[in-house]
Amino acid sequence: MEKPKVLLYESMHQKGVDYLSEHAEIIWASGHDEDTICREAAEVAGIIIRVNGKATARIMDSAPFLKVIARHGVGVDNVDVAAATERGIYVLNTPGVNNQSVAEHAVGLIISLSKRLLRADNAIRNGHWDFRYTGLGQEIMGRTLGVVGFGNIGYRVAKICHSAFNMKILYCDEVLKPEAEKNLSAEKVEFAELLRRSDYVSLHVPALPSTFHLMDADAINLMKKTAFLINTSRGSVVDTTALCAALKAERIAGAGLDVYEEEPLSQNSELLKLTNTVLTPHIAAHTEEAMMAMSMVSADVMRVIQGEAPMHPVNAPN
């Protein structure tokens, strides 16, 4: 019996690839532009998409056998979910599997900025031992963390910071979180108040029209001059031009970023010219454990192709 075909936009952990190859014929995308994907998706029953490329209505219409589009990760902003639902195509993701890795990365950015670790590393590599006298950091203990978007990852960041550093937790979310308020003594506040009171602002919201440039010039200017901004969510949430202006003028103390409005980050980016930033290339979820778990979205893809109900549907297709 001929195996169903599944198109992979990019490579993933070998465990997921091995599982998929047992049950399907893997087609590797030769490019991420729409024309290439339309051509290579013509006979596939499933698509697995990571960061690069999109799953558009046109691509779906070019794939008459398509039953499922799976996102290797949580955010589905590069999938036209409405179009998939109309066409009876399942959209899947991998919720929860990278919570710990992303949360640890956010906390790592907080520590690195507070202790000036990258500046200290650069100083000693360049023979500037005297940085130990001028490069004063700050202690995190007892300071205030503001979490914007108090979902699973935001909660995990708050829990680590509260447990390890006895931090005061403020959060801004559409939903009241009584468990967090009980366990972490967290306080729900309005967005503007969170910005004014926090020593660290950590962003954990999806890419939506309502969150586009949530951190614009007005929002950034509400932050303390001594505060740090952390973004491990989506690049579009932060107005890069406004952030660079604030960092240059030292209107805030610094920023730790793992995501950017344009990826990969241009080598001409103003962010690279600043010394009060810590920048990483969208790797917060890239741990062995998380990558392995996300790759097993392949099992959920096969459930749909074989006519079974998926474990993690994003939509309810017509």
Relative orientation angle of helices 14-23 and 288-295, to the nearest 10 degrees:
20
* Edge-to-edge strand ranges of the sheet holding 277-279: 187-188, 168-172, 144-148, 200-203, 228-231, 254-257, 277-279
Contact 204, 230 (CB under 8 A): no
C-alpha 313/C-alpha 273 separation (Å) is 42
Question: What burial letters (b/e) apply to 132-169, b meaning 16+ CB within 10 Å?
Answer: eeeeeeeebeebbbbbbbbbbbbbbbbbbbbeebebbb
- Those residues whose C-beta lies under 8 Å from the C-beta of residue 70, and which sit 6 or more positions away, are 46, 47, 48, 49, 91, 92, 93, 297, 298, 300, 301
Burial of 126 (0-12, 13-18, 19+ CB in 10 A): exposed
Dihedral class, residue 221 (left if φ above 0, else alpha if ψ from -120 to 50, else beta)? alpha
Give the CA distances from residue 311 to residues 20, 133, 316, in Å, rounded to whole numbers and listed in that order.
16, 55, 12
Q: Check 234, 261, 308, 312 and give the catalytic one.
A: 234
Contact 165, 194 (CB under 8 A): no
Is 234 known to be catalytic? yes
Residue closest to 16 by CA, chosen among 283, 281, 302, 285: 302
Q: Check 282, 286, 288, 289 and give the catalytic one.
A: 282
Contact 226, 94 (CB under 8 A): no
CA terminus-to-terminus distance, the chain = 29
Q: Check 179, 190, 262, 263 and give the catalytic one.
A: 263
Contact 34, 54 (CB under 8 A): yes
Is 282 known to be catalytic? yes
Q: Determine phi and psi for 263, rounding to 5 degrees.
A: -125, 140
Q: Which residues are catalytic?
A: 234, 263, 282
